[in-house]
Amino acid sequence: MSKTWRVALYEYKRNVFKRSFLFALLSIPLMIGFSVTLGLVMESLGKNTAPIGYVDQAGLFDDPVLPEVSPSDAVQFVAYNTEDDALAALEAGTLQAYYVVPADYFETSHIELKYLEEPWENATRQFYDFVQINLLSGQPLQVVRLATGETTISIRSADGSRFLPGGEVGLGMVLSPIIGFVFAFLLVMSSGYIMQAVADEKENRTMEVLVTSVSPAQLIGGKILGVVAVSLTQLLVWTTFAVLAIVIAGRGGLEPLMDLEVPWGPVLATLAIAVPTYVAATGLMAAIGATVTSVQEGQSVGGIFFVLHILPIYVVQMIVETPNAALPVALTFTPFTGLLTMSARQVFTTLPLWQIALAVGAQVVYAAGAVALASRAFRLGLLRYGQRLNLREFLGRRAS
């Protein structure tokens, strides 16, 4: 076993300290940091809590009642007797805008907004609530709240398994498919490492030297463990930066990232199926590297596996509309499509525990089979320098 770990450590160091890997490792955090910084800057630039003026010629605000707003976002409303006074304040920079409520407002329902630069959207929304509340002055409090508050519509699936308060799929709800796509991205990007390593070492005949000190099973097993460790390092670094970005952005006032709730059940289920899926893909890539005659040939064959893993995208409408239909359920247990299908289905339905367990168990079996397949391919093609291992030989000949 120690030799397997030594091979894994060598493979890990060989990939992690490459410039291309370090660039890929840091590119995602830098992109996340740039996006969060840009969002915070845009949020701060767009936010303007300067007062809003108004000239009430209709007597709408004789005894004004202010809307209930968070203190951090509240905008002050300042009354002016004449439009000239309001205009002077606007030109002096003490107002971001002012409204004119004409004398015939109750007949025309017309209000004029005047500004030099477009006011903060939240400020205009608050003034609208300000108008609504004062129009309903004297009405019961419940009526006022219904008229000025936002109507929320919640969505519940027909079987009652999924409930979306507010009718929106928040960031927390889509964490599961996000994790699934991240693993799929890692799978495509990193599993090619081992195919290239095996094909390179076979092509330059390094394998013939290596097998004098380690067995084929130890060599392939160590390489797979090393590549999996490389990918987990990427995932750990990216996750750390993503969590930091979410915390910073949430405290900075980005609404989608404030009070983010993590659905741990779907997230853990996705992680449970992602790891064996990744091991299976890595094993198959190793098998390809052991059977082809050059790295270029292996890369062209490896592209097929990328297409197989993203097949659920082509039936995404069915997954959204009928997540418990026969095809989405079947794709959940299929070798290449299980990860993305299960992670997407969990947004729109609650998967039974038996389906999660069966999907994870199936991927574990696929992973074990892929590693065994890679070991067999490596043994059969070890000394076949410059020759391709054909399917008939691979299936009909026993490994020595």
What ranges do the domains of the chain cover?
2-40+170-396, 52-151
User: The CATH number of 52-151 is which of 3.40.50, 3.40.1000, 3.90.1150, 3.40.190?
Assistant: 3.40.190
277 and 183 in contact (C-beta within 8 Å)?
Answer: yes
Angle at 18 between CA 16 and CA 19, to 5 degrees: 125
Query: Which among 246, 253, 221, 244 is positioned nearest to 72, based on CA atoms?
Result: 253
- Read off the pLDDT of residues 88-114 as tens digits, 9 standing for 90 and up: 999 998 999 999 999 999 888 899 999
Please, what's the largest Cα pairwise distance for the chain?
A: 98
Instruction: Report how far residue 378's alpha carbon sits from residue 381's, in angstroms, rounded to the nearest whole number.
Output: 5
Q: Beta-carbon neighbour count of residue 77 at 10 Å?
A: 19
Task: List the structure tokens of 277.
Answer: 């899926």
* Alpha helix (H) residue ranges in the chain: 2-16, 19-46, 83-92, 105-108, 121-135, 141-148, 175-203, 206-210, 216-252, 264-291, 295-309, 316-321, 326-332, 338-348, 353-381, 391-396
Per-residue model confidence (pLDDT) at position 167: 46
Query: Which among 108, 103, 100, 105 is positioned nearest to 52, based on CA atoms?
Result: 100
Per-residue model confidence (pLDDT) at position 378: 75
- Read off the pLDDT of residues 45-72 as tens digits, 9 standing for 90 and up: 667 778 999 999 998 888 888 877 777 6
Instruction: Report how far residue 286's alpha carbon sits from residue 192's, in angstroms, rounded to the nearest whole number.
Output: 8
Query: SS3 breakdown of the chain: % helix, strand, coil, rounded to 5?
Result: 65, 5, 30
Q: Beta-carbon neighbour count of residue 353 at 10 Å?
A: 10
Instruction: Report how far residue 3's alpha carbon sits from residue 7's, in angstroms, rounded to the nearest whole number.
Output: 6
φ, ψ (nearest 5 deg) of residue 106: -70, -15
What is the end-to-end Cα distance of the chain in Å, rounded?
20
Strands 97-101 and 52-56: parallel
Query: 53 has which bridge partners?
Result: 78, 98
Per-residue model confidence (pLDDT) at position 113: 92
Query: Which among 266, 216, 185 is positioned nearest to 400, based on CA atoms?
Result: 216
Query: Which among 189, 214, 369, 219 is positioned nearest to 279, based on CA atoms?
Result: 369
Q: Which stretches of the chain score pLDDT less than 70?
A: 1, 36, 39-40, 42-46, 72, 139, 141-173, 188-193, 195-212, 246-262, 292-303, 381-400
279 and 371 in contact (C-beta within 8 Å)?
Answer: yes
Instruction: Report how far residue 104's alpha carbon sits from residue 99's, in angstroms, rounded to the nearest whole number.
Output: 14
What one-character DSSP code corresponds to residue 118? P
What strand order describes the sheet that includes 97-101?
A: 77-80, 52-56, 97-101, 112-114
Query: Which among 218, 280, 197, 199 is positioned nearest to 14, based on CA atoms?
Result: 197
Q: Beta-carbon neighbour count of residue 204 at 10 Å?
A: 11
Per-residue model confidence (pLDDT) at position 219: 78
What one-character DSSP code corresponds to residue 162? -
Per-residue model confidence (pLDDT) at position 118: 84
Instruction: Report how far residue 19's alpha carbon sits from residue 1's, in angstroms, rounded to the nearest whole number.
Output: 30
Per-residue model confidence (pLDDT) at position 111: 92
Per-residue model confidence (pLDDT) at position 357: 94
267 and 172 in contact (C-beta within 8 Å)?
Answer: no
Instruction: Report how far residue 223's alpha carbon sits from residue 49's, in angstroms, rounded to the nearest whole number.
Output: 58
Query: Which among 158, 186, 137, 170 is positioned nearest to 324, based on CA atoms?
Result: 158
Instruction: Report how far residue 247's alpha carbon sits from residue 259's, in angstroms, rounded to the nearest whole number.
Output: 9
- How far, CA to CA in Å, does 393 sit from each of 127, 220, 381, 389? 78, 20, 10, 7
340 and 312 in contact (C-beta within 8 Å)?
Answer: yes
